[in-house]
Structure 1
Amino acid sequence: MARIIVLDKYTADQIAAGEVVERPSSVVKELVENSIDAGARRIAIDIEDGGLSMITVSDDGCGIEGDDLELAFQRHATSKITSTGDLACIYTLGFRGEALPSIAAVSKLTVTTRTHDAMTGAQAQIEGGALVAMVPAGAPPGTTVTVKELFYNTPARRKTMKSPATEGSLCGELVSRLALARPDIRYEMRVKGRDVFYSAGSGRLADAATAVYGAAMAREMVPLNFTEEGITITGMVGKPSISRSTRNHITLVINGRYVRCTPVTAAVEAAYQTLLPQGRKPVVILSLSIPPELLDVNVHPAKLEVRLLEEEKMAVLVKRALLEALRTKALIPSAASATHRKYQSGLVVMPQFDTPVRQERFSELVQSRSSAQTIPESNNSPSITSTTPQPYGQLTESRLAGAEEPAGYDNQVVPFPELQPLAQLLPLYILAAGEDGLYIIDQHAAHERVLYEDFLAGQSSTQSQCLLGPVTLELDYREAALLTERILWFTEAGFIIEHFGGNTFLLRGVPSRFPAGQEKTIFFDLLDYFREKGNDSSRTEFFHVLAASLACKNAVKSGEKLTLAAMEALLRSLSGKVNPFTCPHGRPAVIKITYRDLATRFKR
């Protein structure tokens, strides 16, 4: 066993640098955050060869005093905190005093700076952590840091870097995140002198989102503004039309700091649980303002991860804020890609199909309607809404006054539209007329949503129905343990389960309206949910999973024919739901084709 020694400063600095400086984007992050802490209103970033050859970050911040410049490159030298007490109340992005010495230890660095009240500035040159020169220099107010030949003295680290294009894209992604975190700062990024990113610094998050994602995507995002219990949550929430396959488009900012926080990200995904198909992730820009004493930012050398002291409370508030923002907007996708204006109503009623229909699935909905809403079961054109139908030849093309609105998802705060069913387009769709166009409803997805929310609404009084004969459940050890651990949740949901011995159980009863023959399938789906989620499972999510399974199995299927009465009953029931626009699995239930799009296609 070798003797214990104290490492020399050069070796210790290189080891410490590996914790903070992982790749060129780490350098960009640390330097830009220093500029933000310096009060900069404009930050320019220039890189070459993905940042491996050169990174330059210039700002118009407060600058560094000439006498403090050399001190700034000593380890744990900082102007942000003075004692351990300050760690409990951190408002700045940097505070550890590790960034500049760590970067200087693995590069050739030059910093030029001048304060606003000084006549001249100062310049320092450092190579491999050693000061080479310190001279006066003429410079505008602010600070410019140039990092050259990153990892030149750590060849093993340099070999692990990706291609310059990949490293450059990571730098660009990071600058984009920082622009979303601080939309009041103007960011400029250039690669080999070519402009690749610009954010105006107007202070409006919508402008920053447009700079990062483009105008089309920014239009598909709705503002978020939520305050409760001293917590303020703001940002922009993407509609389901712009979902992605990864979490890369979920940007989380806490107290002005771009971070990663698993509990908050999980809450964001939970809010979209029934709005997006499985495997799709939302586009969200979320900014939380919380008391600093409820946040620990000193858990990661690069300060990318934070720990919340009240994780569950924060997750609940985030989910509630997102749901409120999404529910105030109409989420009906449009089939048009051009802008449109609303047309005066001109509805046409098609006769019923003269084919056998299946209406028993909607018997309760139909019977619950008042007599004034009853639809005649004849081939004559029935009057379903208060709007008087007009023959097609009398359909007016005059437009309502008002500015044009972007297509895609309607961004108005409006209720579910009043729809008049016209006909059924087999095997799956209901055609309905609305005030602003033709609506196409997926009958299975719509019925799924109705059954799903009805089940959740009645879960407090869930009833069981006994099976004619018990269903034997032969489980493995893991499944038996999961069932035993969560048996109370199954009982609350309406399952009647009896232990038969060993890992065998008898299923004697199921929740009411349980689809016949699906007992084992749904039961094992629920066990798979517990196996996948582990300790992250919750009673609320369990009921959501069960409700979605029951709704899917019971909903009207593709190819089932409906009468106009059944179609109207389904649409009326759908309109009263919390989120009538998607099925529980996130697929769209309703789309529309505006009158403007129809007129365009018919060259009118």
Structure 2
Amino acid sequence: MARIIVLDKYTADQIAAGEVVERPSSVVKELVENSIDAGARRIAIDIEDGGLSMITVSDDGCGIEGDDLELAFQRHATSKITSTGDLACIYTLGFRGEALPSIAAVSKLTVTTRTHDAMTGAQAQVEGSALVAMVPAGAPPGTTVTVKELFYNTPARRKTMKSPATEGSLCGELVSRLALARPDIRYEMRVKGRDVFYSAGSGRLADAATAVYGAAMAREMVPLNFTEERITITGMVGKPSISRSTRNHITLVINGRYVRCTPVTAAVEAAYQTLLPQGRKPVVILSLSIPPELLDVNVHPAKLEVRLLEEEKMAVLVKRALLEALRTKALIPSAASATHRKYQSGLVVMPQFDTPVRQERFSELVQSQSSAQIIPESNSPSITSTTPQPYGQLTESRLAGAEEPAGYDNQVVPFPELQPLAQLLPLYILAAGEDGLYIIDQHAAHERVLYEEFLAGQSSTQSQCLLGPVTLELDYREAALLTERILWFTEAGFIIEHFGGNTFLLRGVPSRFPAGQEKTIFFDLLDYFREKGNDSSRTEFFHVLAASLACKNAVKSGEKLTLAAMEALLRSLSGKANPFTCPHGRPAVIKITYRDLATRFKR
């Protein structure tokens, strides 16, 4: 008996649809790209329940001939290529002829279309790959595709979908990327009839960037225009002042197609290597126009991944183009405060103050961090109503050298009693213990102290109001994430007000919040939710917030400490649950035993 069989059409369609249609945003991508290929100048997207109940995409493109409409639902039927040779020179976004058949296989789909020279249009209804009806219909020029009950016949896939809010935010993020890829097209997006995104389609990338990221961020981006041989690189590159914690704000467009390309993304990060702190990523909109024969888009059915035939050359050109755009005086941020950090000769970095400050107390030294912020250009005030105080403020008696009992008190884990000797560079504290020489990273140690004290006071978090609200202009997905997790932000001490559309006002922050860091930390938290999605948890959110606040508030490398301040820091570190690493896992303490020293000196 034969064991190999040819699968029936319904089963084959289900398998093929699984590669093209992963979630509602995949449907939006395929339909919008079809509209772009049809020459549309206006595209409207409506979704309900994150796209699971309904997705409607309408355009004013060329439309589909009535005689071709039924054929459009056949797999690998397309008007965009005619032979194998065309695959080496792809000019359109779609070419495989799989989008409509794949969507129709897992949904109830209706297509209404009319060409510009036809008197009447046509309408087709398909359910699970089966053509239900084909009738004449009155319609404006263009095409409207309505997808209902997505994955109704694949319950396993339906159960893997995330919440409607998350799926809707992914659809919104995709539309935003497409608007950046084609700023000459007007995009309108609605969720349950409510307008959530609009891009004017003026053809100016700056207008599209403003629609996606807001005017404040768009002002902090500089134009890019670079041409060499047959390769043109255009776009907008963000100043270092608007960096983010993830790569989500690097938008890459090749020949009008929003894609992911690892070599080009790596080149973008390399260009910013000396401009951004470790762990920060740039905000970049990069559009490459290259000969189609140098690009392979036939890598995956979703067409999000591409391969460049000259990857190394392209990476070099991208890096050079970005560096040329970044070499401008416009990158220098203006200080919002007259007080900022001065760098003296040598390795020691000393903060300067408008009024004399004695560095005799550890608390005073840490408070100096909030008075040495360099703020990028912004019209949003970010001055708190009270001077932020650091977590873990040490008592006056300990700093004054009051008599203490032998050993460290309240130890959670064994920690050696240390006697501070000196400060090295100044980055590290040198301390003597009974069994050796200890070297303590002053920033990592203080970071651990603040981190655990923040978590310990989590249940009684207090807010401090800002003198002036900080305006947060979010993209659609960020606004959706904030709305979904607003209770967590409120519990953490943030006071947030909806200002209309995707704009929010930050009116209050957790107490002892580092001044001037409101936007940076807030956007980092949104990036955390973007990365984690439904896998995020309340406990982890508070840990991420605590680690971020501890890092911003901790004494910095290069700050001089007195012996009293060093002793106070070591005493405070000794009582923590994990005094040996910072919240990010870097070591805070290392030891060189006296035996090792004797061996090295051959004693």
State the TM bucket, normalised to the shorter chain.
Answer: 0.5 to 0.7
Paired residues of 1:385 and 1:420 also in contact (CA < 8 A): no
Distance in 2 of aligned mates of 1:381 and 1:159: 43
Bigger radius of gyration: 1
Seen in structure 2, the aligned counterparts of structure 1 residues 470 and 367 have a Cα distance that, compared at 3 Å, is: closer
Paired residues of 1:241 and 1:333 also in contact (CA < 8 A): yes
Seen in structure 2, the aligned counterparts of structure 1 residues 327 and 135 have a Cα distance that, compared at 3 Å, is: same
Distance in 2 of aligned mates of 1:251 and 1:484: 24
Distance in 2 of aligned mates of 1:220 and 1:596: 56
- Kindly state the Cα deviation for residue 336 of structure 1 after the two structures are TM-superposed: 2.2
- Kindly state the Cα deviation for residue 334 of structure 1 after the two structures are TM-superposed: 2.7
After TM superposition, the structure 1 stretch with the greater mean CA deviation from structure 2, 441-450 or 89-98, is 441-450
Deviations 1:202-239 (A, max 9, x none): 00000000000000111111100011121100000011
Seen in structure 2, the aligned counterparts of structure 1 residues 399 and 377 have a Cα distance that, compared at 3 Å, is: farther
Paired residues of 2:412 and 2:576 also in contact (CA < 8 A): no
- Kindly state the Cα deviation for residue 245 of structure 1 after the two structures are TM-superposed: 1.1
Seen in structure 2, the aligned counterparts of structure 1 residues 130 and 184 have a Cα distance that, compared at 3 Å, is: same
Q: After TM superposition, which residue ranges in structure 1, 4 or more long, deviate above 4 angstroms? A: 337-378, 380-604
Paired residues of 2:420 and 2:429 also in contact (CA < 8 A): yes
After TM superposition, the structure 1 stretch with the greater mean CA deviation from structure 2, 433-442 or 179-188, is 433-442
Seen in structure 2, the aligned counterparts of structure 1 residues 460 and 133 have a Cα distance that, compared at 3 Å, is: closer
Paired residues of 1:251 and 1:285 also in contact (CA < 8 A): yes
- Kindly state the Cα deviation for residue 280 of structure 1 after the two structures are TM-superposed: 1.1
Paired residues of 2:413 and 2:576 also in contact (CA < 8 A): no
Distance in 2 of aligned mates of 1:434 and 1:197: 62
After TM superposition, the structure 1 stretch with the greater mean CA deviation from structure 2, 49-58 or 533-542, is 533-542
Distance in 2 of aligned mates of 1:499 and 1:168: 19
Q: Normalising by the residue count of structure 1, what TM-score does the alignment of the two structures yield?
A: 0.59
Unaligned runs of 5+ in 1: none
Unaligned runs of 5+ in 2: none
The yes-or-no answer on 1:228 pairing with 2:228 is yes
Paired residues of 2:267 and 2:315 also in contact (CA < 8 A): yes
Distance in 1 of aligned mates of 2:284 and 2:230: 22
Seen in structure 2, the aligned counterparts of structure 1 residues 530 and 507 have a Cα distance that, compared at 3 Å, is: same
- Kindly state the Cα deviation for residue 443 of structure 1 after the two structures are TM-superposed: 18
Number of matched residues? 603
Distance in 2 of aligned mates of 1:152 and 1:441: 59
Distance in 2 of aligned mates of 1:321 and 1:422: 50
Paired residues of 1:107 and 1:147 also in contact (CA < 8 A): yes
Seen in structure 2, the aligned counterparts of structure 1 residues 301 and 507 have a Cα distance that, compared at 3 Å, is: closer
After TM superposition, the structure 1 stretch with the greater mean CA deviation from structure 2, 269-278 or 335-344, is 335-344
Seen in structure 2, the aligned counterparts of structure 1 residues 206 and 152 have a Cα distance that, compared at 3 Å, is: same
Seen in structure 2, the aligned counterparts of structure 1 residues 202 and 362 have a Cα distance that, compared at 3 Å, is: same
Paired residues of 1:357 and 1:562 also in contact (CA < 8 A): no
After TM superposition, the structure 1 stretch with the greater mean CA deviation from structure 2, 230-239 or 511-520, is 511-520
Distance in 1 of aligned mates of 2:594 and 2:307: 51
Identity value in percent? 99
Paired residues of 1:278 and 1:585 also in contact (CA < 8 A): no
- Kindly state the Cα deviation for residue 250 of structure 1 after the two structures are TM-superposed: 0.5
Seen in structure 2, the aligned counterparts of structure 1 residues 391 and 467 have a Cα distance that, compared at 3 Å, is: closer
Deviations 1:268-299 (A, max 9, x none): 11111111111111110000000000000001
Distance in 2 of aligned mates of 1:588 and 1:90: 52
Seen in structure 2, the aligned counterparts of structure 1 residues 113 and 530 have a Cα distance that, compared at 3 Å, is: closer
After TM superposition, the structure 1 stretch with the greater mean CA deviation from structure 2, 243-252 or 441-450, is 441-450
Distance in 1 of aligned mates of 2:510 and 2:192: 65
- Kindly state the Cα deviation for residue 486 of structure 1 after the two structures are TM-superposed: 48
Deviations 1:492-534 (A, max 9, x none): 9999999999999999999999999999999999999999999
Distance in 2 of aligned mates of 1:289 and 1:353: 51
Paired residues of 2:415 and 2:574 also in contact (CA < 8 A): yes
Seen in structure 2, the aligned counterparts of structure 1 residues 333 and 438 have a Cα distance that, compared at 3 Å, is: farther
Distance in 1 of aligned mates of 2:390 and 2:131: 86
Q: Normalising by the residue count of structure 2, what TM-score does the alignment of the two structures yield?
A: 0.59
Paired residues of 1:330 and 1:412 also in contact (CA < 8 A): no
Distance in 2 of aligned mates of 1:189 and 1:474: 18
Paired residues of 1:210 and 1:217 also in contact (CA < 8 A): yes
Corresponding residue of 2:373: 373
Paired residues of 1:357 and 1:561 also in contact (CA < 8 A): no
Paired residues of 1:341 and 1:400 also in contact (CA < 8 A): no
After TM superposition, the structure 1 stretch with the greater mean CA deviation from structure 2, 133-142 or 549-558, is 549-558
Distance in 1 of aligned mates of 2:474 and 2:380: 57
Paired residues of 1:349 and 1:422 also in contact (CA < 8 A): no
Paired residues of 2:54 and 2:149 also in contact (CA < 8 A): yes
After TM superposition, the structure 1 stretch with the greater mean CA deviation from structure 2, 401-410 or 102-111, is 401-410
- Kindly state the Cα deviation for residue 167 of structure 1 after the two structures are TM-superposed: 0.3
Deviations 1:477-501 (A, max 9, x none): 9999999999999999999999999
Paired residues of 2:216 and 2:473 also in contact (CA < 8 A): no
- Kindly state the Cα deviation for residue 335 of structure 1 after the two structures are TM-superposed: 3.3
Secondary structure of the corresponding residue to residue 330 of structure 1: helix
Corresponding residue of 1:5: 5
Paired residues of 1:482 and 1:530 also in contact (CA < 8 A): yes
Seen in structure 2, the aligned counterparts of structure 1 residues 522 and 208 have a Cα distance that, compared at 3 Å, is: closer
Distance in 2 of aligned mates of 1:473 and 1:146: 34
